[in-house]
């Protein structure tokens, strides 16, 4: 990994920054060889790095301000001197290979759009999460929380972005797309779902049609498309249901503890590092707000790997057809 562009890490994002974020940066550097640039108040970050004996191992870019975790959107862009805004600018200028932040999702989206920019033809970026599926692979859930009130054309683009991600990152040659709805029969659901279904059926993708909630982890499709509000509810519901089911099985003593621990690890959001924000000119990984050092380190590894693979090339190829749905939105 020597010589690669560093991962830019928002040191002030998350519930436990900067202490846990700095610790995660040190882990990413020492254990995984990922070059990291921490963005935040230089004196404070220097002190944290000295605690780890890593003052000469991790670079620091100074930022005076921090975006509050309570900031949900465009207000974050007004803080031009924040760690998040400066981090996005570094990636936008090509001085960083990817951005990682555990800050507010809405704030990350707003600052990334301004500092890094949307890919050509993309209406809105979307968060993609790879959920483990029953057959042993994974399905991409998109959008998982970036855009809560999208137009139908945006959902159609989410499908294109999800297909590009599935190809570039999961290695699925010809991904199958499903639209999350209340029934598997065509033409059902709310107005957004019905209009998006019409657009999806006209796109050059393998559109399975509507899928239901029980299909999310079943591997029925490779890409599950929905709005960010519903997608985030689904994501949190999956996390909660898995925890509850595993606890009940453990209490009943009907499965080996090591097997239960492995299943829990597969579905633990801390294991995967974060969600990838698709549709930008650069790589952005949004880590969970409660992330600790190990999760931050994992997010840095994910971001560095994605930047190295240049998944944007595959995504950009998919969004070439985005103009076909833009007018309809």
- Name residues whose C-beta falls within 8 Å of residue 277's C-beta, 6 or more positions apart in sequence: 108, 109, 112, 125, 126, 127, 128, 146, 284, 285, 286
pLDDT > 90 fraction of the chain, expressed in percent and rounded: 58
Residue 223 is predicted with a pLDDT of: 96
Per-residue pLDDT tens digits for 148-160: 999 999 999 999 9
The H-assigned helical ranges of 201-256 are 228-252
Mean pLDDT of 266-286: 81
Confirm if 26 and 60 have CB atoms less than 8 A apart.
Answer: no
Greatest Cα pair distance, the chain, in angstroms, is: 60
Across the range 52-73, mean pLDDT stands at: 89
Examine the pLDDT at 317 and tell me if it is beyond 50. Answer: no
64 near 41, Cβ under 8 Å? yes
In this predicted structure, the answer to whether residue 326 has a pLDDT above a threshold of 80 is: no
Q: For each of the domains in the chain, give its residue range(s) and CATH number, in order of start.
A: 7-121+279-309 (3.40.718.10), 126-268 (3.40.718.10)
103 within 8 A of 67, measured Cβ to Cβ: yes
How many angstroms separate the CA atoms of 274 and 296, rounded?
Answer: 9
Q: Say which residues have a Cβ less than 8 Å from residue 97's Cβ, sequence separation at least 6.
A: 4, 5, 6, 7, 8, 91, 282, 283, 303, 304, 307, 308
Name the strand (E) or helix (H) holding 25: helix 19-32
Stretch 169-185: mean pLDDT: 92
The pLDDT, as a whole number, for residue 176 is 96
Give the mean model confidence (pLDDT) for residues 133-142.
Answer: 86
Cα torsion angle, 324, 93, 303, 288, sign: negative
Q: Residue 33: how many CB atoms within 10 A of its CB?
A: 12
CA dist 311 and 319 (Å) reads 13
Model confidence pLDDT, tens digit, residues 3-37: 578 999 999 988 887 999 999 999 999 999 999 99
pLDDT at 196 over 50: yes
CB contact at 8 A, 119 and 113: no
């Amino acid at each position: 990994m020597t010589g690669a562009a560093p991962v830019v890490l928002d040191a002030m994002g998350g519930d436990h920054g900067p202490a846990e974020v700095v610790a995660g940066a040190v882990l990413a550097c020492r254990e995984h060889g990922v070059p990291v640039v921490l963005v935040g108040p230089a004196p404070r970050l220097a002190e944290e790095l000295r605690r780890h004996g890593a003052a000469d191992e991790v670079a620091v870019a100074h930022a005076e301000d921090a975006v509050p975790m309570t900031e949900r959107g465009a207000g974050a862009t007004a803080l031009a001197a924040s760690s998040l805004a400066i981090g996005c600018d570094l990636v936008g200028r090509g001085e960083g290979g990817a951005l990682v932040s555990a800050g507010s999702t809405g704030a990350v989206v707003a600052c990334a759009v301004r500092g890094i920019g949307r890919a050509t033809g993309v209406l809105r970026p979307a968060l993609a999460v790879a959920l483990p599926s029953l057959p042993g692979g994974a399905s991409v859930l998109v959008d998982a929380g970036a855009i809560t009130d999208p137009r139908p054309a945006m959902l159609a683009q989410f499908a294109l972005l999800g297909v590009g991600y599935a190809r570039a990152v999961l290695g699925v040659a010809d991904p199958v797309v499903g639209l999350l709805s209340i029934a598997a029969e065509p033409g059902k659901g709310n107005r957004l779902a019905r209009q998006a279904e019409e657009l999806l059926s006209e796109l050059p993708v393998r559109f399975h049609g509507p899928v239901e909630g029980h299909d999310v982890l079943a591997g029925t499709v490779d890409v599950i498309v929905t709005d960010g509000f519903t997608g985030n509810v689904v994501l949190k519901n999956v996390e909660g249901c898995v925890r509850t089911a595993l606890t009940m099985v453990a209490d009943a003593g009907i499965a080996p503890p090591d097997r239960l621990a492995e299943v829990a690890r597969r579905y633990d959001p801390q294991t995967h590092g974060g969600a990838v924000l698709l549709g930008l000119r650069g790589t952005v990984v949004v880590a969970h707000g409660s992330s600790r050092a190990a999760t931050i380190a994992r997010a840095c590894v994910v971001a560095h790997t994605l930047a190295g693979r240049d998944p944007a090339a595959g995504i950009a190829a998919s969004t070439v057809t985005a103009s076909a749905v833009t007018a309809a939105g």
